[in-house]
Amino acid sequence: MRDFVYCAPTRVVFGRDTEKQVGQLLKDFGAKRVLLQYGGGSVKRSGLYDTVVACVKAAGIELFEMGGVQPNPRLSFVREAIELCRKESIDFLLAIGGGSAIDSTKATAVGVPYEGDVWDFYAGKQQPKTALPLGVVLTFPAAGSEGSNSSVITNVEAGGIKRGLGCDLTRPAFAIYNPELTYTLPPYQTAAGASDIMAHTMERYFTNEPDVDFSDRLCESLLKTIIRQAPVCLKDPTNYEARAEMMWASTVAHNDFLSNFRLGDWASHQLSHELSGAYDSTHGAALAVIFPAWMKYVYKHDVKRFCRFAVNVMGVEPDFFHEEETALKGIAALENFYRSIGMPVTLKELGVPDTQLRELAEKVKRNPDGTVGQFVKLNTEDCLAIYELAR
């Protein structure tokens, strides 16, 4: 069991019509000049943009905006946002959307007060010492960025390198959740979100830490909730309860509540980031391809844990005389679940060519000791083998 410090200060405001509280919340947090970031237009089509703008203006707050954050948000956009913030003396940032709008906002938050180039943080050269505060109106349960300390940015000019920053200063001051705002999510995005939420939980679940029973059980419950609720959302997109469960699960899966006492793995995320960086793959879809391949490659490291996953999460009939078989059945069941919700499970289905797998494997972000992952520490050949298994 590891010692830990846990700090998740985000004020959560959950329920119908809560987006109308955005002006008051900004005032509560002392905002006067706000930069709003959002994506490619879903918030305009849904009417959320108009509601938020009206509420912020009614609160007497000066509002600036930058729309057009792309999925796998770009460094170039962040640099522009930083410039605008400096020019207009912005004192608070607001994101409406999913992980991409939030991460672009988080990168802006650390970039504004920093004298150097914001990429220094993502390249691991510097750690932020200060940041602008930010708030969120969430439209997509997936990345968990609304409660997490992390943000992930893609540097296209450097050849499609996607890198993350972990920094508690970027945890949002507040996050607003109205499950009705997620009714418009296309099925593919709903499923990709489910895959990402599961991945955040499984990265933590597969640990070498013994005696972490409480968080093991929390992880299993969260995974079972997604397995139950994601198909409901797909079948019945306006099911409030199912959408609400997905939204809260998204946050709990990634705000480190499940990390206490344990060290997670994160190799699957690093391997997936290379696919998104190079081929712009949807994050959750890339994870649905990589996670089962990673599992097939590493399960022998702790067959008992994979067996427990198979039985407690995937509902495989327990056969403790044949633990390896049970473990493999669990991995197959996970793949089948991804298929059933419309996720790809091979690189081919993801639309990623298998011609440059070695190049990808060489680029994967390393731990300080040169390896990838924690549950099993991988080298370049291991990463390549996992990509090969995912073909």
Query: What does the binding site for ligand NZQ look like in residue numbers (CB under 6 A)?
Result: 39-43, 71-73, 97-101, 103, 139-140, 142-145, 148, 150-152, 181-182, 184-185, 189, 193, 196, 254, 269, 283-284
Question: Minimal CA–CA distance to 199: which of 269, 102, 300, 302?
Answer: 269
Nearer to ligand NZQ, 67 or 113 (CB): 67
Nearer to ligand NZQ, 234 or 307 (CB): 234
Question: Minimal CA–CA distance to 361: which of 271, 238, 294, 252?
Answer: 271
Is the four-CA dihedral 254, 3, 163, 77 of positive or negative sign? Answer: positive
Q: Are 151 and 107 in contact (CB under 8 A)?
A: yes
Segment near Zn ion (CB under 5 A); pick from 54-62, 158-166, 189-197, 363-371: 189-197
Q: How far is the CB of 344 from ligand NZQ (least distance, A)?
A: 15
Task: Name which of Zn ion, ligand NZQ, none residue 98 binds, using a CB cut-off of 5 to 8 Å depending on partner kind.
Answer: ligand NZQ
Task: Name which of ligand NZQ, Zn ion, none residue 23 binds, using a CB cut-off of 5 to 8 Å depending on partner kind.
Answer: none
Nearer to ligand NZQ, 103 or 382 (CB): 103
Query: Residue 179 is inside which H or E element, if any?
Result: none
Q: How far is the CB of 146 from Zn ion (least distance, A)?
A: 13
Q: How far is the CB of 293 from Zn ion (least distance, A)?
A: 16
Nearer to ligand NZQ, 23 or 172 (CB): 172
How many residues in total does the chain contain? 391
Task: Name which of ligand NZQ, Zn ion, none residue 142 binds, using a CB cut-off of 5 to 8 Å depending on partner kind.
Answer: ligand NZQ
Per-residue mark of binding to Zn ion, 143-182 (x: CB under 5 A): ----------------------------------------
Distance CA 139, CA 341 (A): 20
Nearer to ligand NZQ, 162 or 262 (CB): 162
At 41, list the tokens.
């237009």
At 115, list the tokens.
């004298």
Tell me the CA distances in angstroms from 42 to 67, 160, 162, 227, one per residue in order. 11, 25, 24, 26
Examine residue 196 and tell whether it contacts Zn ion (CB under 5 A): yes
Q: How far is the CB of 32 from ligand NZQ (least distance, A)?
A: 26
- 98's torsion region: left (phi>0), alpha (psi -120 to 50) or beta? beta
6 CB burial (10 A radius; 0-12, 13-18, 19+): exposed
Q: How far is the CB of 56 from Zn ion (least distance, A)?
A: 29
Nearer to Zn ion, 196 or 265 (CB): 196
Q: How far is the CB of 286 from ligand NZQ (least distance, A)?
A: 9
Nearer to ligand NZQ, 62 or 184 (CB): 184
Angle at 243 (CA atoms; ends 239, 244), nearest 5 degrees: 115
Nearer to ligand NZQ, 78 or 328 (CB): 78
Segment near Zn ion (CB under 5 A); pick from 5-13, 191-199, 215-223, 302-310: 191-199
Q: How far is the CB of 342 from ligand NZQ (least distance, A)?
A: 15
DSSP notation for 99-137: HHHHHHHHHHHHHTT-SS-THHHHTTS---S----EEEE
Q: How many residues at the interface with Zn ion, by CB under 5 A?
A: 1
Nearer to ligand NZQ, 24 or 70 (CB): 70
What is the number of the residue whose Cβ is closest to Zn ion?
A: 196
Q: How far is the CB of 189 from ligand NZQ (least distance, A)?
A: 4
Three-class SS state of 14 = strand
By 3-state DSSP, what share of the chain in percent is helix, strand and coil, each rounded to 5? 50, 10, 35
143 CB burial (10 A radius; 0-12, 13-18, 19+): buried
Task: Name which of Zn ion, ligand NZQ, none residue 97 binds, using a CB cut-off of 5 to 8 Å depending on partner kind.
Answer: ligand NZQ
Phi, psi of 350 (to 5 degrees): -75, -15
Chain contacts with Zn ion (rule: CB under 5 A): 196
